[in-house]
Structure 1
Amino acid sequence: MAKMKRRRQNISSRPGTFDPEDVNHVKHTRLGVWDLYEEKQPIMGWNIPGTLKIEQYLEMSQSLPYVWRMITDISRIRNCWTFLFFYVLFELILALVPATTLWYSGQLLTIVQVAIDTRTVDHELLLRISIGRMGCAIVGRLLRYASDRLSYTLRMRLKQHYSVHLFHARARLDLAAFEDPAVQRQLEEAGASTRGIAWDTFSMVSSVITTAIQITSQISVLIGILRNQLDGPLLAAICMSQSILEWTSASRVYQWNSKVWAATTKNEDYIKMQGFKRIVSNPAHRKEFVAGNMAEYCTSEFKAAVERVGDKAGDFYELIRELRIRDRLTMTSLLKEPWRELPQIVFTLRAVQYPASIPVSLASLNLIQQTTSHFGHTVYRFIDQFGSIADQVAAVRKLYDIVNIPIRVPDGTTAFPEDAQKVKSGIAIEFRNVSFRYPGTDEDVLRNVSFKLSPGQLCVIVGANGSGKSTILKLLVRLYDVWEGQIFIDDQDIRTLKLSDLRQAVSVLFQDYTHFPLSIRDNIALGNPSDATNDEHIQLAARLGGADEFIHRLPDGYDTYLDRPVNDYYSGLPEGTRTLFGRLVDFGMVRGVGGMAPNSGTTLSGGQMQRLAVARTFMRSVVSEDSTVGLLLFDEPSASLDPTAEHDLFARLRELRGNKTMLFSTHRFGNLTRHADLILYINDSVIVEAGTHDELLQRGGEYARIWQLQAQAFL
């Protein structure tokens, strides 16, 4: 079992262990799909918080249709408009709270002025004003809490909705487009926002509007308060230039870097979601993903998993922040805001008590200092947000543009095959004067290559590494198109055939095969997505591929994850802790700030991994009764196998292929080449020799020379 890689700030020197299952000492909290385990005596601490270019606006007109498209998409999300309505309503009311509070402060100044002039106080008015100010503080706190709760739900629903959009945009790309660095940058920009571009855009526009209302209302009230104060405008100008009013909070919060905690997720749908995301995002999986015709199945499975997980999905630290917001609504936090108003009320009472010694201008200064400092910060925030609108609108356009990234390999229009039963008897192949070079290079990988293969024949392509053997297989599934010449499949130009039909009729195992960040069962099942729920076929494919025996020895068997796509998280653990969530803990890894993110999986040998890849190929080409595969392609299929396993693999392949056409590329000359109907010896991008094994030996050319060299190693 693989060790858990971990990072954290320091190592705990405390003795003992941390056991998530110890209910007497560990608190369990469910955060969406995550299980958070914390010591019941957490370490607590005090927390003391502390212009846009004109041409960008001109570009906004081109991006505004995309904003309208985003609004239309959002309207289709379940209950989204209801949440949006109440969120906007709460934000609008919150924008008026500061102006209301300021108006009450102006009334207090009026009381002071009257007290100085007449030596009398309207106690009833003073009480109403004091209650009003404190009420504003409480209402503002409650509205902010409700708004935060609504924003979290909205953010998660928008994020989940657009995760399907981003997934589809990646899944539809062919290999040539996906490998383009410009396309990769475009995909990264579209998915760069951790909260989601849609939410960022909506919250920014909402914030700009509410901030404008807040500024307008405060200016109106402040002008009314200061117009009778001779030195009011001057004091306001002076205070506006001062720094933001400093304040402290007595809230006690968790110090995540110093307490013991751990988190994991057991939600299979969420784990599968992350695995499918990595499949469409990682270039290492792209060849098999495209050649295996997996886009439709993976997109469907991902969408189904998203719907099953629903609002519970979320990054661990995102949910932790949400938990901390939710926990702020306590009696202490509810009373904190009105408590801050007491100094103003006390000062007013002192002014009433000693009107002759405290001029009203001092009360005015105090009010202006508090108001304009916050007002100045609000104005700065408004300018900054308004200046970012054009960038955000452009981000919306990028989000939608990624689904229009052009495919480099155009689809054909001809259905293939015409007779599904006939294709099981093999496929005819012809290369006619084919030349090819990879995009962005000037060197030919294949040069004027021609050969023909009849249905049901076995062809072995031999030659040194880098001679062009693997490229022939890639061209047969149209991962790339030829630069010159033509390829014919059953006498039809390969470029005229529908891509999905062509790839459905071909099963391919690449030399640099990949394993997907899913369970072993899903890894094998992806060989034939249409048969992915048939456990009997999956296990048969594993037996044929020689993988069944070692799979059963694994603790989780077919449910084992080769590379678990979802990390566990934890902080400093006691030294005695050796396992967590059934996985080993490695205390020797490099630590860093930000908690723990282990990447766990199961370590298999190179030969075992290759057997799994072969099993996936059998799942596609042999096991399924309704398989329409007629062409089998193997690129160095025994590179990581020992001689015995290699012999067994080739024997099974010859036995199980039936009448299917089969192409092998290899640099080993051995048992396989003896049975080949056609051997192509390729060197330096061209076919040097072609024929059967016996014919090439009799010819005494380069094939015969290398055959003798390899044979001498066993003499």
Structure 2
Amino acid sequence: MGRRRISGKRKGVFNPDDATRIKHTRLGVWDLYEEKAPEVEHVPGVSYWERYLEIRRDLPYVWTMLKDVGSIRSCWSLLFCYATIEAFTSLLPAANLWLKGQMIKIVQVAVDTRSVDKLFLTQITIGLTAVELLLRISFYSKTSISRPLSARIKQFYSGHLFHANARLDVPTFDDAAIQRQLEAASNVQGTSVAWSTLKNVFTLLAVILQVTSQASVLWQVLKDQPDGPLLAFLSVAYSLSEIFTWTGQASRGVWAATTRSDDFIRLQGLKRLVVDATHRKEFVSGNLAQYTLSTFRELASRLGEHASDFREVYREHLQLERLSIWSLARLPFGDLPQIVFAIRAVQQPATIPVTVASLNLITHTSMSFSHQIYQVFQQTGTIADSVASVRKLYEVLELPNKIEDGTIPFPEDAQKLKEGVTLEFKNVSFKYPGTNTYALQNVSFKLLAGQLCVIVGVNGSGKSTILKLIVRLYDPEDGQILLDGHDIETLKLNDLRQAISVLFQDYTHFPLSIRDNIGLGDPAHANDDDRIRLAAKLGGSEEIINRLPNGLDTYLDRPVKDHYSDLPEGTKTLFGRPVDYSGVRGFGEMSASTSTGLSGGQMQRLAVSRTFMRSVVSDDSQVGLLLFDEPSASLDPTAEHDLFARLRELRGSKTMLFSSHRFGNLTRHADLILYMDNAQVQETGTHEELLKRQGEYARIWGLQAQAFL
């Protein structure tokens, strides 16, 4: 409850400094800024018409959703059963109300004739019990049907969303607006958007049926009773006003809050410093306990009662706002049914028993009945939100990628890839999205087929960016990148990336087994253990894998967490994994990520093995260009030397581009060295040529060489 408008796209901006549209309230150390409701929102019915228009616009997407749901196995039959039970359940409150109305007739007959029809009373009692039993059975039946129905629909749309996410390129996926759209299209409190929408539609129809049937029965029961319709109207009207007033106050529209109190901000920072485990070593070794304690007490003393969390002061603020002139003026109306009853009792004392029974029936029914009436209006907004979510669910498949696909197949002759490819940069400049600083500026170089190029330079000089542009994670702002003479922006993306094997400096490990982490280097042979083991051997991770208890089946980061309640302190392991007591806060909490205990160098060897799986293990590999971005950054000198030796032996005649901040090993064997600094290529040549030039490359080479003298 409490939605005031559809949580969809809004025009304009929220500007806290705009006093004409924003109301400012000071709550302790907090500043609350609330958007003033437009005058048009005070016109009855306007917001609901807006909702209906929103629903009408999005109906084509709902029709598509229904066709998709209909294609799921047995879904239509399950939906029919669910709708039937929902409709049957919505009629039971009316049956209950009718039976209670018959009780009033029994009271009236008893008053008039001083006798009670015991058989009829027994039947009514049995009927009331049967209604309660049917309600319980209906609830469990609906739950039993909704479980497989929800699971099938959720599974279907999981594939839909997986496809939507998988097709996005890097700059599109990194866009915050795209992330919000993907999140809105995913799940609603763990439930599929599609199933949530269907449930909301069924709920609305059921509520309408329930309200209609109950209103009809209530009228039939009370129309001949003394002041029965008047009592019903007063009780329901008061209950509705209570609900609408409460929800109107709970629905605050657009608002924002902030604190500008330096003392409060510093106080919260000290709290985090003390409780966050990541700071504990520095906290203890720096002997900070006494200083932070005295500072905390001083700040708390200055702030006094104002040092409160925003949620707490906001809740108190809302409670105070509920005490308004309107709320006070409405109080006497809550007693009107009793006043009418008292007047009727004075005028017609004989009708007291019947009126008492009617009043009791109305009192017990009015709140529930009023809530149902409100639900009809509220559910309209919920369905509008759900339908809007359905639109977003299908729109995510139509999101345009920022990296446009080319049209030219590559390569023209697959066999030539084994001999490498030519690569050329022509005056390439590039800035990362959201920055104004060049990552590359006017970079030009040419690498012939089968050559080895080593890019050296300090961190941040642009080495990694060159590799990212080659595989078109991003496109340059200016200049051209040519592969075998073709502008890479004209080549089919899938063909381009299939012809390149790349290992980035900021490599990642997939939340899968080691077998999958290596095997996915060449998806066509991801299930070939012999190839995987060979790649592990070439990448230097074979010995590491053999030492792990589960070998290739080891998960570097287990994607499914264990659940457990508070455990005896002596429990050190569970399900073969260590118990993390810092994550236990009661039943149902998740354990922390499982750690394999591998070092950075060992993890890097696994990443190198994945690259080898694609680039050198397969005889039928369609890779002609090998890109390595700092593959030895976490390796010791011996491991680095072994890696470089294998790279020289195994690359064959393929073209290789290698970036590093270390000089030596590969640089001595490079056909071309690019020395970069400040996003530009400062020097080019072979190792000997650059040493003779006595430039910056030669100077840094000398510095690194002296470290080993």
Coarse TM-score class (shorter-chain normalised): 0.7 to 0.9
Q: What does residue 429 of structure 1 align with? A: 423
Asked if the contact 2:55–2:388 (Cα under 8 Å) also holds between the matched residues in 1, the reply is yes
Asked if the contact 1:569–1:598 (Cα under 8 Å) also holds between the matched residues in 2, the reply is no
Q: What does residue 313 of structure 1 align with? A: none
| 2:115 aligned with 1:120 | yes
| Matches of 1:81 and 1:512, distance apart in 2 | 48
Asked if the contact 1:571–1:596 (Cα under 8 Å) also holds between the matched residues in 2, the reply is no
Matches of residues 562-577 of structure 1 in structure 2 within 5 Å? Answer: 562-577=556-571
Q: What does residue 405 of structure 1 align with? A: 399
Asked if the contact 2:566–2:586 (Cα under 8 Å) also holds between the matched residues in 1, the reply is no
| 2:445 aligned with 1:451 | yes
Q: What does residue 98 of structure 2 align with? A: 103
| 2:435 aligned with 1:441 | yes
| 2:392 aligned with 1:372 | no
Of residues 233, 238, 254 in structure 2, which corresponds to 1:237? 233
| Matches of 1:700 and 1:214, distance apart in 2 | 89
| Matches of 2:413 and 2:226, distance apart in 1 | 95
Moved over 4 A (4+): 241-244, 355-358
Pairwise CA distance, 1:430:
1.0
| Matches of 1:160 and 1:144, distance apart in 2 | 24
| Matches of 2:590 and 2:650, distance apart in 1 | 48
Pairwise CA distance, 1:149:
1.0
| Matches of 1:132 and 1:53, distance apart in 2 | 39
**Aligned-pair RMSD on alpha carbons?**
1.8
Offset from partner CA, 1:53-105 (integer Å, 9 cap, x none): 54343232221111111111100011000000000000001111111111111
SS of 1:459's equivalent in the other structure is strand
SS of 1:134's equivalent in the other structure is helix
Q: What does residue 505 of structure 2 align with? A: 511
Q: What does residue 272 of structure 1 align with? A: none
SS of 1:663's equivalent in the other structure is strand
Q: Specify whether residues 477 and 596 from structure 1 end up closer, same or farther in structure 2 by C-alpha distance, changes over 3 A only.
A: closer
Q: What does residue 222 of structure 1 align with? A: 218
Q: Specify whether residues 592 and 570 from structure 1 end up closer, same or farther in structure 2 by C-alpha distance, changes over 3 A only.
A: closer
Asked if the contact 1:562–1:603 (Cα under 8 Å) also holds between the matched residues in 2, the reply is no
Q: What does residue 70 of structure 1 align with? A: 65
Q: What does residue 613 of structure 1 align with? A: 607
2:441 counterpart letter in structure 1:
R
1:57 counterpart letter in structure 2:
Y
| 2:639 aligned with 1:638 | no
Matches of residues 275-674 of structure 1 in structure 2 within 5 Å? Answer: 359-588=353-582, 591=585, 595-674=589-668
Pairwise CA distance, 1:133:
2.0
Comparing 623-632 and 52-61, the one that deviates more? 52-61
Pairwise CA distance, 1:111:
1.9
Pairwise CA distance, 1:458:
0.3
Pairwise CA distance, 1:579:
1.2
SS of 1:564's equivalent in the other structure is coil
1:413 counterpart letter in structure 2:
T
Pairwise CA distance, 1:240:
2.9
2:604 counterpart letter in structure 1:
Q
2:639 counterpart letter in structure 1:
A
SS of 1:240's equivalent in the other structure is helix
Offset from partner CA, 1:465-492 (integer Å, 9 cap, x none): 1111111111111111111111111111
| Matches of 2:355 and 2:683, distance apart in 1 | 102
Q: What does residue 169 of structure 1 align with? A: 164
Q: What does residue 195 of structure 2 align with? A: 199
Pairwise CA distance, 1:113:
1.4
Pairwise CA distance, 1:386:
1.9
| 2:140 aligned with 1:142 | no
Asked if the contact 2:626–2:654 (Cα under 8 Å) also holds between the matched residues in 1, the reply is yes
Comparing 643-652 and 57-66, the one that deviates more? 57-66
What is the TM-score normalised by the length of structure 1? 0.75
Asked if the contact 1:690–1:696 (Cα under 8 Å) also holds between the matched residues in 2, the reply is yes
| Matches of 1:238 and 1:571, distance apart in 2 | 51
| Matches of 1:156 and 1:610, distance apart in 2 | 39
2:595 counterpart letter in structure 1:
G
SS of 2:191's equivalent in the other structure is coil
Q: What does residue 284 of structure 1 align with? A: none
| Matches of 1:182 and 1:593, distance apart in 2 | 36
Pairwise CA distance, 1:593:
7.7
- Structure scoring higher RCO (CA < 8 A, sep ≥ 6) equals 1
Pairwise CA distance, 1:600:
1.9
Pairwise CA distance, 1:241:
6.0
2:152 counterpart letter in structure 1:
R
Q: Identity, % of aligned pairs? A: 62
Q: What does residue 180 of structure 1 align with? A: 175
SS of 2:589's equivalent in the other structure is coil
Matches of residues 1-40 of structure 1 in structure 2 within 5 Å? Answer: none
1:204 counterpart letter in structure 2:
N
Q: Which runs of 5+ in 1 are unaligned?
A: 1-50, 245-354
SS of 2:428's equivalent in the other structure is strand
Q: What does residue 308 of structure 1 align with? A: none
| Matches of 1:98 and 1:597, distance apart in 2 | 45
Offset from partner CA, 1:666-705 (integer Å, 9 cap, x none): 1110111000001111111221111111111111111111
Asked if the contact 1:568–1:599 (Cα under 8 Å) also holds between the matched residues in 2, the reply is no
1:228 counterpart letter in structure 2:
D
| Matches of 2:353 and 2:403, distance apart in 1 | 82
1:164 counterpart letter in structure 2:
G
Q: Which runs of 5+ in 2 are unaligned?
A: 1-44, 241-348
Pairwise CA distance, 1:242:
7.0
Pairwise CA distance, 1:134:
1.7
Offset from partner CA, 1:209-234 (integer Å, 9 cap, x none): 00000000000000011111122123
Q: What does residue 334 of structure 1 align with? A: none
Of residues 67, 78, 98 in structure 2, which corresponds to 1:83? 78
Higher helix share: 2
| Matches of 2:617 and 2:574, distance apart in 1 | 39
Q: What does residue 34 of structure 2 align with? A: none
Asked if the contact 2:566–2:584 (Cα under 8 Å) also holds between the matched residues in 1, the reply is no
Offset from partner CA, 1:192-250 (integer Å, 9 cap, x none): 41211111111111100000000000000000111111221233234336779xxxxxx
Asked if the contact 1:63–1:393 (Cα under 8 Å) also holds between the matched residues in 2, the reply is yes
| Matches of 2:431 and 2:207, distance apart in 1 | 57
1:514 counterpart letter in structure 2:
T
Asked if the contact 2:580–2:591 (Cα under 8 Å) also holds between the matched residues in 1, the reply is no
| Matches of 1:111 and 1:60, distance apart in 2 | 48
SS of 1:478's equivalent in the other structure is coil
| Matches of 1:380 and 1:599, distance apart in 2 | 46
Asked if the contact 2:584–2:590 (Cα under 8 Å) also holds between the matched residues in 1, the reply is no
SS of 1:625's equivalent in the other structure is coil
2:477 counterpart letter in structure 1:
W
| Matches of 2:116 and 2:218, distance apart in 1 | 23
